[in-house]
Each structure stands twice: as structure tokens, then as C-alpha cells.
Chains A and B, each alone.
Chain A
Amino acid sequence: MSELDRRIFLKLGAAAVIGTTLAPGITLFQAFAQDETEGRTSSKDRWGMVIDTNKCTADCTECTAACRTENNVPLFGDPRYDGHWIRKVTVTPKTDGAHSRSLPLLCNHCEHPPCQHVCPVAATFTREDGIVMIDKHRCIGCRYCMIACPYKARTFVFKNTEKWSNPDVPKRGKGVVEKCTFCAHRIDKGQIPSCVEACNKSGEKAMVFGNLNDPNSEIVQYIREHAPKGLREDLGLEPKVFYKGI
């Protein structure tokens, strides 16, 4: 379908839908939901991450700081509203108070993402390479996805902010939901996520990032050797961030 055809089709469809408020717009949906990243991503890739909680230390915040700068994640000076794409968490087994672990928590880019299932306007979508993304132009800010994500990986933009550290990543205005993109803009340039880069450079080298579909990649080797686990695997979402040592 040519671009013009598609537009006319959409307009006609729109009129019909508004007219009846009902017509099942499945076909419309399919026409509309064409992957905006087409051409840049490939279904041959499946990006994933491993975090070695034995290496990660409690006082290190290199990854979270790097993410904030890279992705313009807003800070409002009020912990209830601050954006979080990656956060440091300390976990202590209830039965063994001495055995504390520190680890970063981020979007798991679930293979079966409930955030995407519940999104009423299909603003949340999965790229061909498995990265779960939000189309900030389509998100209506209903926050159903925040209710559905079991990892609290999503935050809402509660107010506008003027801070904008990285022009490569578009700013989100108030009223939409945002979350980690595995630094998709960097991956598309052949780079690794900025949290991983920061951890390698000045942190504890606790993160491994790579292509889960490539049997020779460092991450696949690592997973074979250490068998790290996803969080709440019982929920069946098949998270693509794995943790060693918890």
C-alpha cells in the first residue's frame, strides 16, 4: 500500500470508527502499528543482560547515574515522582541477614510483556530484536502498564522538566510513561547500553550485555557456565535480564 493510499485508508477508517464508536478496528490497528524501527532492527538479534550480584557493590551507582544522563531521566527532588529507568536495590534474605546483595533493577524486556498486553492503544510494542519500547507520541498516559509490570520498571512523567542532558534521546513531556529501552538508540549504532559501559569503565564490571541468539556471544557463554536466573520466573514472562548470585 502506498503512503497516500494508506493515509486515505486511515482517514476513511477513522470516520467510520468515530461514526459508530464501535467498529472493530483490527485492520486499522494492523495498518497503524507498523514497526517504526523497521530496517534498523533484526529478528536475528535478541538482546539480553546478565548481572553478577557478587561483583556489584552497594555504594556504586555508576549505572544509574550514566542512565540518567544518557536518557534524560527526570529528577524532581521528590522520590515519589522521580523517574527511574534503572535503580539500585539491596536484597537481604529473610533467613540470613548477613548475606546482603546489591543489584541494579531495570526493565527486563520480557518475552511476554504484560505491559504491552494491557496497553489500550498499543503504544507499548516489541521491536524485532526483542526490545520493549513505548511510543511516546501514542501513549495516552493511562498508566495501566505500570499496574501490570511486576518489576515496577515504569515511571510516569509527573511534571515537565527543562533539564535535557542528551539531545540524542528525545525528552518526554509530562503525562506519558517511560522506561528503559536497553539504550536502543545506541544499539542501533552498534554500541552497548550506557549503564553497561559505565559499569565496565568505572564500576565493578558486573554487567554483561549481548545477543542471546548468538551462540558465540559472551552473554550466551556466560549463561551456559553460570546459569543465572531471571526475576520472578514463576510469572512466566521470560525476562531477558538475568541475575547471578541471588
Chain B
Amino acid sequence: MAKGKITYSTIRGDSPGYYALVCVLGALSLAGFGSAFMMFSQGHYITGMTNAVPWGLPIVIAIYLIGLSAGSLVLSALSSVFGKTEFKAFSRMASLLAALLMISALISIVLDWGKPERILVPFFSINPRSMFSLNGMLYSAYITICFVYLWAMFNEKEKLVKIIGFTAVFWAVLVHSGTGAIFGFVGARELFHSPLLPPSFIAAALSSGTALMIMVLYFTFRFTGRKLDEELLRRLGFYLAMFIIVVAYFVFIENITRSYWPSNYAMQKFLLLSGNKYSLIFWLGMVGCGLVFPFVILINPATGKSVRWILVASALVVTGVLAERYTIVIPGQVLPLEIFPGMNVTSDFQDGQINDYSISLAETLYGLGLTSLVFFLYVLALKFFELMPEEAVIASDIPDTSGTGKN
């Protein structure tokens, strides 16, 4: 444990800049809820969803936020579980953010239902075979764990912190595997059905979550004028580069396996080579922004040490993983179901044809709003609770016990 005790304090939060930020985030969140209400009162036809593509941006955003939350929780566990005491100062902020991201994700899922007013039904009526039903429990327990973790940290119950830290890491693995399984277990759709989805969800969660934390930490410390040791961001940048490699490996294996077998040629051609928006999002968004560009930035000695460049890389990853989420959810529905293999199919219900999905204005506001909600609550919480350390520095007299902390 760090010798110099970390002091946490609330932020002043009385500058015009702070109020402006709160107002903007609050307004965006309201817009999000407004569009959710429109969906509720008008029906889902105001979204881009159709009978052929029944899941749209709200699901993309939900699994995106769930993923982002993993990184935060793992960061907060780095010190208590993995002995990386230099990150202890961030634990409170990170676990709060983890909880907020998950709460927002749950809201995004529920408000996307055709009948959000039936919110209590899943509590009474459980289907243990449904990944949605199981995940509902995993997610709520996760939120609970985050808050207990916070409580333990606030009350400096070191032993409890450690135990919950372990639980949290274990639970995060369940949560992300479970989220991947929502898609991976669906045998009806070639692009979903894959045992790789649960582990690759964990990997993408780690990379996007770490990237988000780097940005949140940098800007929070910068705007509050508190001291943040740049070396800490560099170390996180190193972890980020490692996580990117794992994600890239999964993406590669998944696609090379599919592309190998002739029955998948048409599908892979559509996804990788067609030049339509789905393949653009795949290559530019998921592969470019999510993997290649940030990785090059992070491992290049000229840029990898610069905080500015690390921030650029993080922003790229956060964007790239959104593209990855989109690529998981949407193309698998856009491609027609193979009901009659070896046949050309036509009907007045778009059978056999490639469907279209375009994000509507209502969905854009919805996604933006629920993402803003996270930061709206985060910024407010910083003002009312002692979450932020006065400073985050690497104490030079703490030996790096793990031996791998250097990059």
C-alpha cells in the first residue's frame, strides 16, 4: 500500500465552465429521454428498425456502454487485486463510472423495449435459459458490486476492498461473456453464431474501457487543475496497446475462419469487400480506428510517450469499439436469413434480399442522451462525493512490486 495516504476531496464545481458542462450534458440526457418517450408513445417505426432488422442503435449503445464499464472496474481493481498500487488513487472514480455506465446501459435496454412500462415483468417471470434473463441478473448484481466496492473504499475497509475487488473482476468476466453470448448463442444467424463472441467481448471491453478511462482521467484532472502524473497515463497506454493486440487476434481468427469455408463467401464478401457502409464501418471504424491507428500510435516511441498522442489513440479506440459493436449487431440482421439454401428467394417480406438499416434521428438522440447521462451523473457526483484524489502521482519510494509495470 502507498505510504503517503491518498486524500480524496470533492471538486469545487462552481466555475462557469462546470455549470456549462452540467447544462450541456443534462440537456443531452433530457433529449435522450425525450426521444425514448417518442418511441414509447409513437411506436418503434420512428427508429430505423424494421421487422427485418429488429435491433438497432439502442442495443449497440447498450452493449457498448456495458463494455466501457468493464475497463473502469478493472482499472479500479488493478490496485486492490493486481497489486498495482500506483492506480489506487483512481479506484473510486473508476468504480463509480463503472456503475454509471452499467446503469445507463440497462436504461438503454429497457427503454428500447416495445413495452418499457412492463419493467417489473422480468422480476416475476424468469426464463433461466434466456441470456437476456440471466444477464439481467448479472448486470444488476454488477451494479450492486460496484456500489458496495465504493462503500468499502469510502470507509477504508482494506480487506473488504480486496475481496470485492476479486469478486468484481470475476463478475466482470461473467458479465461480458454473458453479453457476448446474447449473440453468440443464436444459431439462426451465421454472423452471430460463434463461441468466440464471449471472450472477444471481454477483450473489446478491456480495450475500450481502458481508453475511456485514460480520457476521463486526463480531462477530469485537467479541468480541476489537480496534478496527474503523466507516467500513469503512459502505463495505461501500454495496457491499452496490449488489449488491442488481443482484440485484433479475435477479429482476425473470427474472420479468417469464416472466410475459409465456401458457404460463407457471400457473407464475408458482403462484410469485408462490398464497399457499402457496413464494410466501411468494419475497415475504417473497427479495424482502422479501433485497432491499427491507435496501436501504431501507442507502440511508436515518438508518439507512444506523448500524453497528447495517447489521448488521440484512446479517442480512436473508443470510436473504433463503437464501430465494432455496430458490426456485431447490425450486419448479422441486414444479411437475409438462409431459409432455403441453394435457392434464390423473393417475397413481399424482403426474403432473400439485403435489408437496410439507417439510424434515425430519434435513435441518434437516444444514444447520445444515454451516453451523456453517464457523464452528467459523473460530473455531479464529483461535486458531492469525495471521489477524486487531490493528486495522483507515482510515489518514488514505492517499489514496483509486480515487475511488469514498466513498459
Contact = CB atoms under 8 A, between A and B. Distances in A.
Indicate whether A and B interact: yes
A140 B117 CA distance: 8
B45 A141 contact: no
Interface in A20-41: 21-22, 24-26, 28-29, 32-33
B106 to A, nearest CB: 11
Which among B50, B127, B141 has the highest number of chain A CB atoms within 10 Å?
B127
A80 B52 contact: yes
A127 to B, nearest CB: 17
B124 A120 contact: no
A174 B130 CA distance: 23
Q: Is the interface of B mostly helix, strand, loop or mixed?
A: loop
Contact of B132 (A90, A142, A150): A142
Contacts of A90: 345-347
A151 interface: yes
Interface residue range, chain A: 35 or more
A150 B341 CA distance: 12
A235 interface: yes
A87 interface: yes
A32 B343 CA distance: 44
Nearest to B135: A120
Contacts of B127: 29, 117, 119-122
**Which of B50, B55, B126, B187 has the largest number of chain A CB atoms within 10 A?**
B126
Interface stretch (A156-164, A184-192, A199-207, A218-226): A156-164
Interface string A52-94: 0000000000000000000000001011111010011111111
Nearest to B134: A120
Contacts of A117: 127, 129-130
Contacts of B192: 147
A174 B338 contact: no
A235 B136 CA distance: 28
A46 interface: no
B137 A88 contact: no
B115 A152 contact: no
B43 A174 contact: yes
A220 to B, nearest CB: 25
B224 interface: no
A145 B182 CA distance: 11
Interface string B332-343: 010001111111
A115 to B, nearest CB: 9
Interface in A85-121: 87-95, 105, 114, 117-121
B275 interface: no
Contacts of A114: 186-188
A141 B187 contact: no
Contact of B121 (A76, A80, A121, A232): A121
Contact of B347 (A26, A105, A141, A159): A105
A244 interface: no
Given A91-B344, A140-B118, A147 B189 contact: yes
Given A87-B347, A114-B187, A176-B115, A156 B125 contact: no
Contacts of B195: none
Pick from A32, A155, A158, A160 the residue with the most CB of B within 10 Å. Answer: A158
Interface of A: 10, 13-14, 17-18, 21-22, 24-26, 28-29, 32-33, 76, 78-82, 84, 87-95, 105, 114, 117-123, 138-144, 146-152, 155-160, 174-177, 231-232, 235, 246
Given A90-B347, A140-B121, 10 more contacts: A14-B120, A21-B123, A81-B45, A81-B51, A82-B349, A84-B51, A121-B121, A152-B339, A235-B187, A246-B343
Interface of B: 42-45, 49-52, 54-55, 109, 112-116, 118, 120-133, 136-137, 140-141, 144, 182, 185-189, 192, 333, 337-351
17 contacts: A17-B123, A21-B123, A22-B144, A32-B124, A87-B349, A91-B340, A92-B344, A120-B132, A120-B133, A121-B125, A138-B118, A141-B118, A142-B132, A156-B44, A156-B49, A158-B44, A246-B343
